[in-house]
Amino acid sequence: MATKRELAALDKAAARIDERERLPAGPPRTEPRPKRGPNTARGKAASSRNAIKHGLRSGVPVIPHFESFEEWEEFRDEIITSYAPEGRLETELAVTCASILWRKRRVANYETEMTAHHLDDIPEDMNLTASYGELIGVPRELSLSDEKLQEQVSRRMLATRDHMERVIRYESHLHRLWVQTHHELEALQTHRKGGRPSPLARFDVMQSRASGL
């Protein structure tokens, strides 16, 4: 049963609620005005520089803090120079080729990093195996032998099946994009020089899951 003090507190709370409901409604809330960006050319240029300063470079295939913008720009310029494009369209296609090749390098780096992580985990995994083996009577030195170490290294020199399939799919996708873009650029340059561009031979480099890869 509630005490008199508790009942009095409930009465006061109810009275406050009734009083609040009887108060007239305040003025309608107005929606906040949307923030507007800079209007002048100088302001827009400053805003663009701020975006670059914070790593928000639109259209650049660089992961901030993990990849170098300067290295990308050097890589891109070398690829463009190797294609020797003329005009805006050829230059855009050359930049696209550079972007695709840059992302293909990232795939190779991903595969290397995943393999390195698997190899780095060997000592901890072997110690856990040795600790479990001791519980069932397997000598610790047997679980930590050089033979067991070499066995673990051999097993982990390649990434896991899931990671390998991901690498193969993505790398094949990028390769097809590069072949198509490269051919389009080559055809444009051949036509500009008065030649007859060769047709693009299309083929699928992706192997089916049934192949066992």
Residue 38 forms part of a structural domain = no
- Note the pLDDT of residue 46: 52
Structural domain boundaries, residue 97: 64-197
Domain count for the chain, please give it.
1
Tens digit of pLDDT per residue, the chain (213 long)?
Answer: 545 555 455 565 555 655 555 555 555 555 555 555 556 655 554 554 454 344 434 468 898 888 999 999 999 999 999 999 999 999 999 999 999 999 999 988 888 888 888 788 888 988 998 898 888 888 988 888 998 888 888 888 877 788 788 888 999 999 999 999 999 999 999 988 888 766 655 544 444 444 444
Torsion of CA 161, 164, 170, 173, to 10 degrees: -90
Is residue 127 a contact partner of residue 149, using CB atoms and an 8 Å limit? Answer: no
Residue 35 forms part of a structural domain = no
Is residue 181 a contact partner of residue 93, using CB atoms and an 8 Å limit? Answer: yes
Closest CA to 72 of 62, 86, 63: 62
Residue 160 forms part of a structural domain = yes
How crowded is residue 176: how many other Cβ atoms within 10 Å of its Cβ?
Answer: 16
Residue 92 forms part of a structural domain = yes
Tell me how far apart the alpha carbons of residues 22 and 24 are, in angstroms, rounded to a whole number.
Answer: 6
- Note the pLDDT of residue 16: 60
Residue 210 forms part of a structural domain = no
- Note the pLDDT of residue 117: 82
Residue 50 forms part of a structural domain = no
- Note the pLDDT of residue 160: 75
- Note the pLDDT of residue 210: 42
- Note the pLDDT of residue 40: 66
Residue 37 forms part of a structural domain = no
Q: What predicted TM-score, i.e. pTM, was given to this entire model?
A: 0.57
Residue 152 forms part of a structural domain = yes
